[in-house]
Structure 1
Amino acid sequence: MMDATELLEHDHRIVEQMFRDYETAASAAQRRGVVEILIRELSKHAALEELLVYPLAKRLIPEMADEVDEHLEEHMGLKKILATLDRLSAGDRLERDLVAELKREVDHHVQEEEGRFFPTLRETVGREALEDLGEQLREGKRAAPTRPHPHAPNEPPALAMAAPVAAMYDRVRDRLQRRPRT
């Protein structure tokens, strides 16, 4: 069973592969399909970090509060890019530039999390708690928002109330628009 940090790192590897898939896609429609999956996966990942991981880190490692706040700010930037991408249609001339900007931001964020944040979490929280958190993350993925919500709260308790409503709305939109499921 993967613990929380292993699960989040696995998500990072999947997103890195999606960026490669975007670059090798043979058509605008294929690229758009990759973009829609990127939007879905990054939205779920960010929401779960905001709801479960960052609050735990702030509570158990108070000296990391500033770093957690920085990660939350980075998430806001990512969600704004994702929201803009979400409004585009296949073949839009802005898509390639926005995906490149998203990749730069995601690469920076991943480097920070995997370089300092996750190792500190592992040292401080312990294996058993990280395994429990990993299970919560796995369960949470089924109900997490699938679209970016840059204007929604990004910290509990307001996030805990807004996220389920956003997730239900997102899933209805996803079905109506026949978005790929992951």
Structure 2
Amino acid sequence: MDATELLRHDHRVVEQLFRDYRAAASDAQRRGVVEILVRELSKHAAVEEVLLYPFAAKVLADPRVVDRHLAGHRPIKELLLELDRCRAGDRAEDELMELLASAVARHVRDDENELMPLLCDRADKQSLRELGQEIDQGKQRAPTRPHPHAPEEPPPLAFVAPLAAIYDRLRDRMQGRPRT
């Protein structure tokens, strides 16, 4: 898959996780969905920041487009951090999930209606396929928890992200979090 196809697939997975949350029969099931959602959105945001946005900045030669998309990540990561701190049955969880669903829907709409069409128009197919491979591999090494106060742009992000990923994966194992 090329980068845009891969990221669209991620968006569909996340949309399904929001539906799964709403359909869950118990607090424990909802919490399991939240943990997977936190993991998937954290990895998605990281690969976009490390790989997609620098690529887009080069291809589009308009930093305002990339900056606008990057700015949308911080509120999502802050909501993810609050959700990550919740426990099963926490009253705040439902409200946070609604806020997150709305923020993610905006992000998906902006990516799929603005950024991705621009990239498809201006980047060659081979570059998009190669970027897709990098993104797919990058998700295996990406942080699995939100880090809203970490640098969002390379080069500092390139140094922080791998360390955060190691720490996150250790925490995930210790806490028995699901692996995806």
1:94 aligns with 2:92: yes
- Per the TM alignment, residue 68 of structure 1 is displaced from its structure 2 partner at its CA by 1.1
The Cα RMSD (Å) is 0.6
Q: Which aligned segments of 4 or more residues in structure 1 are displaced greater than 2 angstroms?
A: none
Give, in whole Å, the separation in 2 of the partners of 1:31 and 1:68: 33
Deviations along 1:9-63, one digit per CA (max 9) or x if unpaired, are: 0000000000000000000000000000000000000000000000111122112
| 2:173 alignment partner in structure 1 | 175
- Corresponding residue of 1:4: 3
* In structure 1, C-alpha distance between the alignment counterparts of 2:88 and 2:71, rounded to whole Å: 29
- The alignment's TM-score, normalised by the length of structure 2, stands at 0.99
> Who is 2:80 aligned against?
82
Question: What's the TM-score, normalizing by structure 1?
Answer: 0.98
- Report the Cα distance in structure 1 between the residues aligned to 2:121 and 2:132, rounded to whole angstroms: 16
Instruction: Tell me the distance in 1 between the aligned counterparts of 2:38 and 2:66.
Output: 22
CA–CA distance in structure 2, aligned partners of residues 20 and 56 of structure 1: 32
Q: Which residue of 1 aligns with 2:143?
A: 145
> Which residue in 2 is equivalent to 1:17?
16
Choose which of 160, 166, 173 in structure 1 pairs with 2:164: 166
Aligned residues with identical type, % of pairs? 57
Compute the displacement of 1:116 (Å): 1.2
What is the Cα deviation at residue 98 of structure 1?
A: 0.2
In structure 2, what is the Cα distance between the partners aligned to 1:107 and 1:144? Answer: 22
Q: Deviations over 1:113-150 (max 9, x none)?
A: 10011010011111100000000011111100000000
